[in-house]
Amino acid sequence: MLFLSPATDIVDDEWCAICTGAVTDDHDVRAFSYHTGDEITGLVVGWSLSGRVRTSLPGTVAEAVSRDGKPLPVQQEQEVELGPSPVYFYLS
């Protein structure tokens, strides 16, 4: 399983992501933006520290994936609901 640390860059032979910082200043949310190489779309990894929380992302969600790699339903909007488990949001 790949988990992106907000403090480091993730680099391997096939995949690279660079953390570009937090996307919210909400104290109950951890959401970090990553730039994934030459792709136009971005990646945000987010979770909540206190149950279910709604927050806005810096783009429209095109795809969401659970921490286990399972696709999650998306409504293609900027506002998302986060829980305690990290979710990978691919933005368009």
Whether this model's pTM surpasses 0.75? yes
- How far is residue 35's CA from residue 41's CA, in Å, rounded to a whole number? 8
Q: Which pLDDT value is given to residue 10? A: 44
pLDDT of residue 75: 85
Higher pLDDT, 18 or 84: 84
Quote the pLDDT of residue 84.
Answer: 96
84, two tokens: 């305690």
Cα(36)–Cα(17) distance, integer angstroms? 5
Q: What is the pLDDT of residue 8?
A: 42
Cα 92 to Cα 85: distance, rounded to the nearest angstrom: 22
Determine the pLDDT at residue 53: 94
Rg (C-alpha) for the chain, rounded Å, is 12
Looking from the CA of 27 toward its CB, the CA atoms found within 13 Å total 0
Number of H helices, E strands in the chain: 0, 9
- Note the pLDDT of residue 87: 95
Q: Which domains does the chain have, with CATH numbers?
A: 10-91 (2.60.40.1180)
Give the type of residue at 78.
Answer: Q
- pLDDT tens for residues 16-62? 677 888 999 888 999 998 876 665 558 899 999 999 999 999 989 99
